[in-house]
Structure 1
Amino acid sequence: MLKGISPLLNADVLYALRAMGHGDTLVVTDTNFPSDSIARVTPFGHLLRIDNVDAAAAVDAILSVLPVEAVARMEVIGAPDEIPPVQEEVAAVIARHEPTAEAMAGIERFAFYDAAKEAYAVLTTGERRFYGCFILRKGVVPPDA
């Protein structure tokens, strides 16, 4: 246990978040996403996990240490403008941590899979609601004033 760091952030997750550079992306997924097979083709090469919590709790922990400049969400099939509750919850977490981040863009399901394969790493959560899948683009930590 480390002081000031969420206990949800295990050593593998912290390592990956620290290793990411500006513009690298992290895919945060629900339990239905093909996370393991997609994670294998990313530069990080293996699946990261924050089990037993929903997407909002996982993203809250991640954003406690990771600067994010943009977020994308998986669109609902047949209703691309619909924002399910899981996405509303994650959007609220993002707004609290990163109020200047770009608005959450929608990505069609299969295009999301393709984008996930280009990410630095994939992290799966315990989220069981559909469409709990997001792509976070790492921002920068500014110099001290």
Structure 2
Amino acid sequence: MLKNISPLVSPALLNALASMGHGDEITIADAHYPRMGSADTVLRMDGIKIPELLDGILRLLPLDHYHEWQYALMKPVGGDEQPTIWQTYRAIIDEHDRGLPHHFERFEFYEYAKQSFITVITGETAQYGNIILRKGIVRESP
């Protein structure tokens, strides 16, 4: 165990985060997520909810402010309402790094997410709980 790292950030996830470069992406997926939208590397974290994991990850991972968006979400299908979990995500992101969202249509999301550095499948059951984070750089302090 290390200090100041969320216990939800497993050694395998910590290694993936440290191995990612600027512009690489991580898909954090809900429990319903299909294999067809997954990266080559998949890490299962069943039983863990995305908001708590997102908070732990964003304590370590800077977002990419050189890109037009810093995180991506899946657009609701048909008459589905905007998911309330997005407000939770927004609050967590704003607390750590602020960022602009991008919204992909469902199958565009899956296709885009295949290119992620890693897909983390969680136990999240909130509909449209999937999120892609784009890694930025750690700036030196003056």
Q: Do the two structures share a fold, i.e. TM-score over 0.5?
A: yes
Q: What displacement does 1:38 show?
A: 4.1
1:26-76 alpha-carbon deviations (Å, 9 max, x no partner): 0011000114x544xx3xx33123332221111111101111130010110
The residue that corresponds to 1:6 in the other structure is 6
Tell me the distance in 1 between the aligned counterparts of 2:13 and 2:120: 8
The reply to whether residue 132 of structure 1 matches residue 126 of structure 2 is no
Structure 2: distance between partners of 1:140 and 1:48 = 23
For residues 20-35 of structure 1, the aligned pairs below 5 Å read: 20-35=20-35
Distance, in Å, in 2 between the alignment partners of 1:5 and 1:30 is: 22
How high is the TM-score relative to the length of structure 2?
Answer: 0.89
Structure 1: gaps spanning 5 or more residues: none
* Percent identity (aligned): 37
TM-score by length of 1: 0.87
SS in 1 for 2:27: strand
For structure 2, list consecutive stretches of 5 or more residues without a partner in the other structure.
65-69
Residue 71 of structure 1 is matched in structure 2 by: 71
Matches within 5 A, 1:114-129: 114-129=111-126
Say how many residue pairs are matched: 137
Matched, 1:50 2:45: yes
Which consecutive segments of 4 or more residues in structure 1 shift more than 3 A?
none
Q: What root-mean-square deviation, in Å, do the aligned CA atoms of Structure 1 and Structure 2 show?
A: 1.6
Cα distance in 2, alignment partners of residues 61 and 125 from structure 1: 14
Measure the CA separation in 1 of the matches of 2:126 and 2:104: 18
